[in-house]
Amino acid sequence: MDRPTLDELLEAVGEFLEREILPSLSDPRLRFQILVALNALGIARRELALGEALRAEEAKELTALLGKQGEAEVLLGELAQRIREGHPPEGTQAFLKAHVARKLRVASPKYLERYP
């Protein structure tokens, strides 16, 4: 494996920003921007670590819910259409709850810890 890995690079940038840059800033606007950048790096690292597995889980659940295979975006569109028409398949609520949880595991896992 080539080193550093993408995750190691993202981690190094985050550590540099957090340990070296952030403490030296007095401008609240710049501090906020560094915090936003650190959050974005965290999202990127979680997407890198979890994204493929979460997409596979999503596809499997959509296939089971709708009874057919296809691209996740297309199947999500079909599910949305069925919901709009008032004919959601049985299990839609559980799927949507899991769908949002998958998104939050990447975007904001602490939210899931606070509101399981």
Compare 2 and 88 and report the one with higher pLDDT. 88
Distances (CA, A) of 29 to 14, 33, 35, 45, 114: 18, 6, 10, 24, 28
Give the per-residue pLDDT at 1.
Answer: 74
Summarize pLDDT for 64-86 with one digit per residue, the tens.
999 999 999 999 999 999 999 99
Cα–Cα dist 87/52, whole Å: 30
How high is the pLDDT of residue 29?
98
DSSP symbols for 5-43: -HHHHHHHHHHHIIIIIGGG---HHHHHHHHHHHHHHHH
Contacts of 3 by beta carbon, 8 Å cutoff, 6+ apart? none
Locate the domains of the chain by residue range: 6-114
Which tens digits make up the pLDDT trace of 9-50? 999 999 999 999 999 999 999 999 999 999 999 999 999 999
Token couple for 6: 């993408």
* Alpha carbon distance 11, 109 (integer Å): 17
d(CA 15, CA 11): 6
